[in-house]
Amino acid sequence: MSQLIRTQFNVLKALTIHNLQGQMAAYKYGFAWVILEPLIFIAGFRLARKFFGSLASPAGMTPLMFYVLGVFPLYLCFAGIRTFTIPAGRSKLLAFPRVTELDLTLASILASFTTYFLLFWIVAIGISNYENVWPPQNILELIMALMASLILGTAVGLFFSGLVRVFPPMKQFVGYLSFAIRMASGMFFCITMIPITVWPYLTWNPLLHVTEMTRDSWFESYVSPIASPAYVAECGLGLLLLGLLVERYMRRIPKV
């Protein structure tokens, strides 16, 4: 049993390294775009804040770290959602022994987490020292929130992988979902900037809780009135179980 586990671990490690080496190969500048894309969003929100006072960060939160803590959790989520294309695809790596579609998905997740997690700390340490808000008040809560964001995205990606297998045009809906997540998950706002009458309609979204947790865990001056780690854990486990069940069931259906 231990030998099988060790072998499977080695398979995942090799696939993760393969993903890291070929990550963003479709882009001319490789990893440069991985770094530039979130930074462009952060800079764009910062410039918008300069011209629109309504986008100002709440009192006690510095403007750049406010957006860093909103952008990176969602990028980890999007990295998980993008894995929906793997089980629906026809990778040549499946010809190798012991390599399954789930292995490819997990390797892609690990590669994305490694990339964005390291990039987050590089950006966060530099900006937080510049704005004099280093270190975070609760680093464990912050790490758990980032991991939860990736798990939620992966669960959604596994679920949509089954839908795309039987109905390929569903790919368009994934794009619409990503846009909705950007707008409703706290990338450029926190819950205290929203009228309290709207809270019941927004707090069903576990990703909003995640972004609230990241800001709560970093700034001593901010205590989120809605962040619930228990709710995020329940949603994450429930959605992940559903996604894995869909992935398992779709193995029986031939690819079209």
- Whether residue 76 contacts residue 66, with contact meaning beta carbons closer than 8 Å, is answered with no
Cis-peptide, bond into residue 97, ω within 30° of zero: no
Q: Where are the domains of the chain?
A: 2-250
Counted residue by residue, the chain has a size of 256
Question: 């259906």: which residue's tokens?
Answer: 253
- Rounded (5°) CA angle 35-134-118: 30
**Closest C-alpha to 79, from 152, 161, 165, 180:** 152
| pLDDT in the model for residue 213 | 94
pTM to 2 decimal places: 0.83
| pLDDT in the model for residue 89 | 62
In one letter, which amino acid is 58?
P
R_g of the chain, CA atoms, integer Å? 19
Angle between the 31-51 and 63-81 helix axes, to the nearest 10 degrees? 140
* pLDDT digits (tens), the chain, 256 positions: 566 666 666 766 677 776 666 655 544 455 555 666 666 666 666 666 655 555 556 767 888 888 889 888 998 999 888 888 776 666 666 666 777 777 778 888 888 888 888 889 988 998 889 889 888 889 999 999 999 999 999 999 888 888 887 777 788 888 888 888 888 888 888 898 888 999 998 999 999 999 999 999 999 888 899 999 999 999 999 999 998 888 888 776 655 5
Residue 24's Cβ-count burial label (10 Å; 0-12, 13-18, 19+) is middle
Rounded to 5 degrees, φ, ψ at 174 are -60, -40
Q: What's the token pair of residue 30?
A: 């490789």
Cα–Cα distance for residue pair 176/73, rounded to 1 Å: 19
Residue 249's Cβ-count burial label (10 Å; 0-12, 13-18, 19+) is exposed
Q: What is the DSSP letter of 192?
A: G
